[in-house]
């Protein structure tokens, strides 16, 4: 089963998981979003709780149910997710950052619904959002910090760069365009890249199995550090 050798192994640990996509408002009825379903992050939260961790799930909008014994904080925008993460960060042992975070947000949020005009085009100027994971990496003390990399090309090189730039212990890299992987799939095909340069390629497997493998690695890194 999933739990052979994993029964209660996260007991006493606090795990912060972020999941789903953030949304950036344009006006009261519109937003800029992405295709993240939240499945990967919710699977990590579920498995961490089943293995005995105290789990805080910080999630963008998702159709998924909060797993049993998981404390959930719902957010919308990247800035809201950043604030929620910072508030919890000092107290947690493991951070798994599966959320698909909006990199930009509309500069001006209209307080009334934007009306259609006679021009054929609408220009929305976007400002860069803070990088939540990079912010957490810069403040890292005792935490094991695990990020994700969603790529459509140059998977390993791009993921490697993120490990270094964000001061991660590990990154879970996936090619979101591959069949059997990515946003709405129940399975995933991922590679683990570590701070020391090691790479581990996993087969295609259900997201709950990927979740357990990620938690195994986070626990191993934590134990090796102690
Ligand atoms: N991330 C974040 N804050 C952002 C953007 C990304 O915390 N503003 C996190 C994601 O949750 C993920 C990791 O950083 O764990 C990588 O996200 P990704 O979109 O793959 O990388 P970016 O650094 O945003 O670079 P790019 O989109 O240009 O590939
Ligand atoms: Ca991004």
The number of the ligand 1 atom at minimal distance from the alpha carbon of 134 is 7
Condensed to tens digits (0 to 9), the pLDDT of residues 161-197 reads: 999 999 999 999 998 888 887 778 889 999 999 999 9
Where does the pLDDT of residue 104 fall: very low under 50, low under 70, confident under 90, or very high at 90 and above?
very high
Give the rounded percent of residues in the chain with a pLDDT score beyond 90: 88
- The answer to whether 148 touches 44, Cβ cutoff 8 Å, is no
Query: What local confidence, expressed as pLDDT, does residue 183 receive?
Result: 76
156 is in an annotated binding site: no
Query: What local confidence, expressed as pLDDT, does residue 4 receive?
Result: 79
Reply yes or no on whether 34 is catalytic: yes
- Distance from the CA of 146 to the center of ligand 1, in angstroms? 12
- What's the alpha-carbon Rg for the chain, to the nearest Å? 18
The number of the ligand 1 atom at minimal distance from the alpha carbon of 162 is 23
Condensed to tens digits (0 to 9), the pLDDT of residues 54-64 reads: 999 999 999 99
- Distance from the CA of 225 to the center of ligand 1, in angstroms? 26
Q: Which of 128, 24, 20, 25 is nearest to 74 (CA)?
A: 20
For residue 226, pLDDT over 90 is answered with no
- Two tokens, residue 124: 């929305």
Ligand 1, atom 20: closest residue by C-alpha = 149
Query: What local confidence, expressed as pLDDT, does residue 1 receive?
Result: 63
For residue 152, pLDDT over 70 is answered with yes
Give me the catalytic one of 34, 69, 158, 167: 34
Condensed to tens digits (0 to 9), the pLDDT of residues 23-55 reads: 999 999 999 999 999 999 999 999 999 999 999
Q: Which of 91, 57, 90, 89 is nearest to 74 (CA)?
A: 57
Count of C-beta atoms within a 10 Å radius of residue 114: 13
- The answer to whether 86 touches 135, Cβ cutoff 8 Å, is yes
Query: What local confidence, expressed as pLDDT, does residue 185 receive?
Result: 85
Query: What local confidence, expressed as pLDDT, does residue 167 receive?
Result: 98
Q: Is the alpha carbon torsion for 37, 40, 45, 51 positive or negative?
A: positive
Contacts for 20 with CB less than 8 Å, ≥ 6 apart: 36, 37, 38, 41, 42, 59, 60, 61, 62, 64, 99, 100
- Two tokens, residue 65: 């149910």
Dist CA 210 CA 200 (whole Å): 12
118-145: average pLDDT: 96
Give the rounded percent of residues in the chain with a pLDDT score beyond 70: 99
Q: Which of 57, 38, 140 is nearest to 99 (CA)?
A: 38
CA angle in degrees (0–180, nearest 5) for 66-183-129: 85
- State the ipTM, two decimals: 0.99
Q: Which residues pair with 70 in a beta bridge?
A: 55
Ligand 1, atom 9: closest residue by C-alpha = 133
For residue 124, pLDDT over 80 is answered with yes
């Amino acid at each position: 089963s999933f739990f052979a050798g994993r029964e209660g192994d996260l007991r006493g640990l606090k795990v912060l998981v972020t999941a789903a996509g953030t949304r950036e408002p344009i006006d009261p009825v519109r937003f800029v979003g992405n295709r993240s379903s939240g499945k990967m992050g919710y699977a990590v939260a579920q498995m961490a709780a089943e293995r005995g961790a105290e789990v805080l799930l910080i999630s963008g909008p998702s159709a998924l149910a909060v797993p049993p014994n998981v404390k959930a904080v719902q957010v919308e925008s990247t800035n809201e997710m950043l604030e929620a993460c910072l508030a919890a960060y000092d107290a947690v042992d493991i951070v798994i950052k599966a959320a698909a975070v909006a990199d930009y947000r509309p500069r001006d949020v209209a307080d009334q619904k934007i009306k259609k005009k006679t021009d054929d085009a609408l220009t929305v100027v976007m400002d860069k959002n803070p990088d939540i994971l990079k912010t957490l990496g810069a403040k890292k003390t005792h935490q094991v910090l695990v990020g994700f990399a969603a790529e459509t090309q140059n998977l390993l090189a791009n993921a490697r760069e993120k490990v270094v730039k964000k001061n991660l212990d590990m990154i879970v890299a996936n090619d979101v365009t591959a069949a059997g992987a990515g946003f709405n799939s129940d399975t995933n095909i991922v590679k683990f890249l570590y701070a020391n340069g090691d790479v581990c390629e996993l087969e295609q497997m259900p997201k709950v199995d990927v979740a357990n493998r990620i938690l195994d690695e986070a626990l191993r890194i934590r134990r090796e550090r102690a």
